[in-house]
Amino acid sequence: MENSCHEIPENANEHCPGPQSESAGKSDACEGCPNQQICATAPKGPDPDLVAIVERMATVKHKILVLSGKGGVGKSTFSAQLSFALASKDYQVGLLDIDICGPSIPKMLGLEGQDIHQSNLGWSPIYLDDNLGVMSIGFMLPHPDEAVIWRGPRKNGLIKQFLKDVHWGELDYLVVDAPPGTSDEHISIVQFLQATEIDGAVIVTTPQQVSLIDVRKEISFCKKVGIRVIGVVENMSGLRQFVTDLKFEKRAAGEGGGAVEDVTEWAHNYLRENAPEILSLFACSEVFDRSGGGAEKMCVEMGVPFLGKVPLDPQLCRAAEEGRSCFEDHKCRLSAPALLKIVEGIVFSHEK
């Protein structure tokens, strides 16, 4: 993974504009960089790697970025399940994980421990099915606990290499799972893909204001760099769980509350005998404060589409942990229909 003379040097400052930029060696970000004088006097011109990226992406019909304003909102879970859903509809799908420091996609697709292979056509994605390929730095780490301690230029260099060297073949959809925020990786992926017609970005959030504040920044980022916002997904939109999946506990009487006793079996038996109709219901609880109106209200205010809500479903969390699709069985009875409706909205936005 050696950098060419046209790529950002590994010893460059964190927010290096790039050796080929007109501001190379002249911007505030260049102050104190050991390459400042070289970059300021070097001849400028188009990056030949961008031509290679355009050629690679020519076989990809649709490119979707999955973004979030902050971490912990379920963005990678959504990226994985979006890819599963598209593949289940017989589309050819690629999932590219550009979260260099926190790659979780291999785990969420059950592909941990796989190694990348290289051929005369380039790097081969890891295939979960014939029509679902995956690429992530997670496949390159010697151990899953290995920390990736890289500055911006090196991360940007790997993202460029993913785009120009991975042989995806003919794809209907390339889903790009990005890290939270609006940092180097986001600027790089937009810069590298700008000439290849990005379809847009799906932004994932949770309902509370502390998340929506950052999502507003993400939407502003998309508008500034010219990326269409396909829509916003409100994830973890309240806990939804069937009564039969609930556990029940009883705290013993006494000073300090006493010990907690599991009474799940007793509670289920009691309901079965005395109120069996309750067993067909599901319990609802608002986990996050949504007094501000949630993502739907924010979308109206920001002028972007709202794609829908996905409940906080323990079965979906389990599917992500086990690296499987939530659509293949009937365990995710509450979250899978909501996700599928959102996926259909994304597909429809490209076909209309």
Q: What is the pLDDT of residues 176-209, one digit of tens each?
A: 999 998 888 998 999 899 889 899 999 999 999 9
Residues 61, 174, single domain; the answer is yes
Is 30 annotated for ligand binding? yes
The domain containing residue 322 runs over which residues? Answer: 49-238+289-349
Residues 196, 144, single domain; the answer is yes
Alpha helices in the chain (DSSP H): 36-41, 48-57, 75-88, 105-108, 152-165, 184-193, 209-225, 264-274, 294-302, 314-321, 335-351
Is 39 annotated for ligand binding? yes
Is 76 annotated for ligand binding? yes
Residues 203, 221, single domain; the answer is yes
Could you read off the pLDDT of 214-268 as tens digits, one per residue?
999 999 999 999 999 999 999 999 999 999 999 999 987 765 667 889 999 999 9
Residues 204, 72, single domain; the answer is yes
Residues 3, 70, single domain; the answer is no
Confidence band, pLDDT 50/70/90 cuts, at residue 147: confident
Q: Are 163 and 56 in contact (CB under 8 A)?
A: yes
Q: What is the mean pLDDT of the chain?
A: 90
Residues 169, 302, single domain; the answer is yes
What's the pLDDT score for residue 352?
55
Is 74 annotated for ligand binding? yes
Is 299 annotated for ligand binding? no
Confidence band, pLDDT 50/70/90 cuts, at residue 66: very high
Distance CA(27)–CA(13), nearest Å, equals: 11
What's the pLDDT score for residue 71?
92
Rg (CA), the chain: 23
Q: Which two tokens stand for residue 151?
A: 């500055």
φ, ψ (nearest 5 deg) of residue 195? -85, 0
CATH number, residue 143: 3.40.50.300
Is 71 annotated for ligand binding? yes
Residues 40, 136, single domain; the answer is no
Residues 130, 264, single domain; the answer is no
The total of structural domains in the chain comes to 3
Residues 118, 185, single domain; the answer is yes
Confidence band, pLDDT 50/70/90 cuts, at residue 43: low
Could you read off the pLDDT of 149-179 as tens digits, one per residue?
888 888 989 999 999 999 999 999 999 999 9
Residues 40, 60, single domain; the answer is no
Residues 334, 211, single domain; the answer is yes
What's the pLDDT score for residue 1?
39
Percentage helix, strand, coil for the chain under 3-state DSSP, each rounded to 5: 40, 20, 40
What's the pLDDT score for residue 251?
85
What's the pLDDT score for residue 194?
86
- Give Cβ neighbours of residue 104 (< 8 Å, ≥ 6 apart): 76, 97, 138
What's the pLDDT score for residue 19?
76
What's the pLDDT score for residue 5?
42
What's the pLDDT score for residue 45?
61
Is 75 annotated for ligand binding? yes
Residues 195, 134, single domain; the answer is yes
What is this structure's pTM? 0.84
